[in-house]
Structure 1
Amino acid sequence: DIVVVVGHQAEAVKAALQDYELRFVIQEPQLGTGHAVQVAMPAVPAGAGTVMVLCGDAPLISGESISALQLLHERTGAAVTVQTIELPDGAHYGRVVRDESGQVAAVVQAKDSQDRPDLLAIREINTGAYCFDATFLLEALTKIPKSPVTGEIYLTDLIHIARQQGRGVEALVDPDWEALLGINSRAELAGATRTVKRRINERHMDQGVTLIDPEATYIESFVSIGQDTVIYPNVYLQGRTAIGKDCLIESSVKIVDSILEQKVHVKMGSVITQSRVGAGVDIGPCAHLRPLSDLRRGVHVGNFVEVKKSVLHEGVKAGHLTYLGDAEIGAGANVGAGTITCNYDGVHKHPTIIGEGAFIGSNTALVAPVTVGAGAYVGAGSTITEDVPPGQLGIARARQVNKARRVVDKKKK
């Protein structure tokens, strides 16, 4: 049972988490972490034995870290179990103060300790993740004082309260410090992003993917990549993109929510969005596959070709400077340079059908709805407004006329 406390930009947070089974409570005004838990407790089931508190500004915490914290808490029966890490510099984080026996005595806020250099020198900091005995938590929350410096109610004061009551306080020093840092600035957000990017890239390399320059390769967490695929720098793989084995992705390529089968070659500067690409297809350079493009096995889509909501069957070739929208193109058809499907009449989109083995000459405009039959030819420079039957030649252009040129001497004598 997960309760999310929201306040600032609450609706945006709810929208971001709408796909998860959560319950939300509003903290208004925002008076600190202790106040946030006070607001949340009425939503916690009455029979709960343990309450875990996690901070929303530490998004990289792993399932392993959460499980380790819970296991220590259950094993020791402590009232409070706090997660800590050790940093070279404690920065603005709360410092963990231990007594002579090494037990946690308190967590002090950095902003409340500016006159205590001895406290600021402590390198062990509080990550903001806790497990609490639910009965202790419900009672102790009523005893937290407001900070005389900020006026906030700090959850860390529960450690002092537990110690006063003779209750157990445990701390788990987690070794994965990079994943547990809070994000409180754009610089810290960039640092967390670098950590995630590095770990994702290392995982793919461990699984047999070659990244020519991992520092300049951007792969989101839900992307899958097959073994022996090679990825050049400045590539962005986003959403739920799946790339097969033995593919080659050249520099400056962006692929979003798309499926590429094995041995696909995507050349420099191409963009692929919400599309499917069959085995052995080569794309680009500088090609654009817009949503719902479906390129079947062995298709060639060359430089400055744009495809939108179209099916290109096996072996289709469209080499240069072409727009194919709302089209279905039969196997083995050839689409010449400068061909466009005129699919939009100003109100509605219309389909273009090109049959198997058809040949479309360069600089052709296919005014949809229109069908070019299997094995048909269309002469270069044609504007096709009527169907071309299978096996026939369609030509729709003005007849060329050559006339004698009248020479006028423009020089004045």
Structure 2
Amino acid sequence: MLNIIILAAGKGSRMQSNIPKALHKLSGRYFIDYLIDSVRLLKPDQIFIVVGYKEEFVRTILKNYDDVTFISQKEQFGTGHAVMQVIPYLKQNNSENNKTLILYSDMPLIRDKTLKKLIDSTIDLTILTNRLDEPYGYGRIIRDNKNNICKIVEHKDASENELNIKEVNTGILSIKTSKLIKWLNLIKNYNVKKEYYLTDIIEIAFLDKAIINSLQPNFLWEALGVNSPNELSFLERMWQKYQADVLLKQGVLISDPNRIDIRGKLYCEKDVFIDIGCIFIGNIQLSQGSYIGPYCIIEDSIIGTNSKIYAYSYIEKSKINANVQIGPFAHLRPNVILHENVKIGNFVEIKNSIIGPNSKTNHLSYIGDTEIGENVNIGAGVITCNYDGFHKYKTIIGDNAFIGSDSQLIAPVSIGKNATIGAGSTIVQDAPENQLTISRVSQKSIREWNRNKNNKK
């Protein structure tokens, strides 16, 4: 039987923020989301989140986690006190393998593989430690002359010799539930802050002749906590660099691994190229041979085989098929489907539209709520006027149509197959197939015009 306790009651004063620490974000996701994802893979019997600071706000944000039990810590009297609040709810059976795993909400990147090693240990108490070249601020792991862990000394209380120790406490531990209940009752608050420190359980266990084991993560960033904006920024870059390294090993060409942000899941096929400054949000698929130019943002989208996204383009929740060209400076808003060989040029905005194979809109256009057929040419400055102030309406443009520059198509309206719309037209009625439709004011010249005088009569 496995219980999970996540401590998330703290304010996180050093973050200089009104946001509870558990709800700060790393790569676009809440800290706590990462932890929930990891511990679910362990298939625990119970998951507890101890909440305190802005408790109702935290509960509201996490309300969709129906497999989580929230435990209130009304007053924050230390980490040991936080765990004490959960004791009445812990499930036990007669098995010696009854375990409780304790985690911290400010340590988002701990991997399930590392946690699995902790809970698979048959020892009474197993703690996760780290070795840091610069361990300032961390509690030091103290071992006896037989190399047994005997206690943890906080940085502020450490002697000069103890400060030279590089092995530090991460706070994460796996413990037999029966031992946790026993030893937790022995923790005292004999300190300046009058708080109950969970770290005291290490010395209590040692004095009780318990066996204490330690494990270390495979990656340094797994067990790094976040206590300040500087530490968050540092962890963010470490995480981004790791994700970039994974892609490089898979054969993805990344112009500069230090200038890429992956805020979700990025799936890449062979021969993908990613230029500098790109941001990927949500679930992204880059198909074989796709090219992503500098400073593009792509969110929850599929980029097709051999498609090219040029500089500073923004694509949201869209599907791009093969051999498409987009940008530079193009914006695809949600629910856009571009079929094969489509060309979308600079300063074009498209929303909730389908564009058929071999069609193109190359310059300065807005296409909204529109279905465009095959081999359609949309001239510069064309606007589909889809909104009357109350409702959205649809525009349909048939195969092989030609829409002249600076035309406005007032929806709902249909443009027939092989139709031509003269430049500068305002189309308010359906345009028939195979015909030229034009709507312009007659051109007029005034001979005696002088713009410096009042020509009104």
TM-score by length of 2: 0.85
Q: How far apart are 1:382 and its partner, in Å?
A: 0.4
CA RMSD of aligned residues (A): 1.8
Alignment of 1:148-187 (within 5 A): 148-187=191-230
Look up the SS of the partner of 2:108 in the other structure: coil
Residues 186-215 of structure 1, C-alpha deviation per residue, up to 9 Å, x if partnerless?
111111111110111011111111001111
Q: Which residue of 1 aligns with 2:431?
A: 388
Distance in 2, matches of 1:122 and 1:365, equals 72
Q: Which residue of 2 aligns with 1:370?
A: 413
Q: How far apart are 1:8 and its partner, in Å?
A: 2.0
Look up the SS of the partner of 1:137 in the other structure: helix
Q: How far apart are 1:100 and its partner, in Å?
A: 0.8
Q: Which residue of 2 aligns with 1:86?
A: 131
Aligned match of 2:327 in 277, 284, 290?
284
Q: How far apart are 1:166 and its partner, in Å?
A: 1.6
Contact 1:147 1:154 in 2 (8 A): no
Q: Which residue of 2 aligns with 1:29?
A: 75
Tell me if 1:357 matches 2:381.
no
Is 132-141 or 172-181 further displaced after alignment?
172-181
Q: Which residue of 1 aligns with 2:30?
A: none
Is 389-398 or 43-52 further displaced after alignment?
43-52
Relative to structure 1, is the Cα distance of residues 227 and 147 closer, same or farther in structure 2, using a 3 angstrom cutoff?
A: farther
Distance in 1, matches of 2:265 and 2:142, equals 40
Alignment of 1:97-246 (within 5 A): 97-113=142-158, 116-246=159-289
Is 241-250 or 60-69 further displaced after alignment?
60-69
TM-score by length of 1: 0.94
Tell me if 1:56 matches 2:105.
yes
Tell me if 1:347 matches 2:396.
no
Q: How far apart are 1:221 and its partner, in Å?
A: 3.9
Contact 1:85 1:175 in 2 (8 A): no
Distance in 1, matches of 2:372 and 2:259, equals 37
Distance in 1, matches of 2:61 and 2:249, equals 31
Residue correspondences, number:
404
The residue type equivalent to 1:67 in the other structure is K
The residue type equivalent to 2:265 in the other structure is F
Relative to structure 1, is the Cα distance of residues 321 and 199 closer, same or farther in structure 2, using a 3 angstrom cutoff?
A: same
Contact 1:285 1:303 in 2 (8 A): yes
Residues 161-191 of structure 1, C-alpha deviation per residue, up to 9 Å, x if partnerless?
1122222222224453332111111111111
Is 169-178 or 215-224 further displaced after alignment?
169-178
The residue type equivalent to 1:64 in the other structure is K
Look up the SS of the partner of 1:239 in the other structure: strand
Structure 2 residue runs without a partner (length 5+): 1-45
Distance in 2, matches of 1:301 and 1:407, equals 42
Residues 247-295 of structure 1, C-alpha deviation per residue, up to 9 Å, x if partnerless?
1111111001111111110111110011111111100110000111111
Relative to structure 1, is the Cα distance of residues 240 and 11 closer, same or farther in structure 2, using a 3 angstrom cutoff?
A: farther
Relative to structure 1, is the Cα distance of residues 117 and 361 closer, same or farther in structure 2, using a 3 angstrom cutoff?
A: same
Relative to structure 1, is the Cα distance of residues 407 and 236 closer, same or farther in structure 2, using a 3 angstrom cutoff?
A: closer
Q: Which residue of 1 aligns with 2:88?
A: 42
Tell me if 1:320 matches 2:369.
no
Q: How far apart are 1:17 and its partner, in Å?
A: 4.2
Q: Which residue of 1 aligns with 2:115?
A: 66
Contact 2:368 2:386 in 1 (8 A): yes
Is 118-127 or 344-353 further displaced after alignment?
118-127
Contact 1:200 1:220 in 2 (8 A): no
Residues 72-119 of structure 1, C-alpha deviation per residue, up to 9 Å, x if partnerless?
x22xxx322111111112211111111111000101222344xx2222
The residue type equivalent to 2:388 in the other structure is D
Q: Which residue of 2 aligns with 1:10?
A: 55
Q: Which residue of 1 aligns with 2:14?
A: none
Q: How far apart are 1:120 and its partner, in Å?
A: 2.1
Distance in 2, matches of 1:41 and 1:381, equals 75
Distance in 1, matches of 2:230 and 2:407, equals 52
Contact 2:221 2:239 in 1 (8 A): no
Distance in 2, matches of 1:101 and 1:126, equals 19
Is 394-403 or 327-336 further displaced after alignment?
394-403
The residue type equivalent to 1:303 in the other structure is N
Distance in 2, matches of 1:164 and 1:327, equals 74
Q: How far apart are 1:350 and its partner, in Å?
A: 0.7
Contact 2:92 2:177 in 1 (8 A): no
Relative to structure 1, is the Cα distance of residues 16 and 224 closer, same or farther in structure 2, using a 3 angstrom cutoff?
A: farther
Identity %: 37
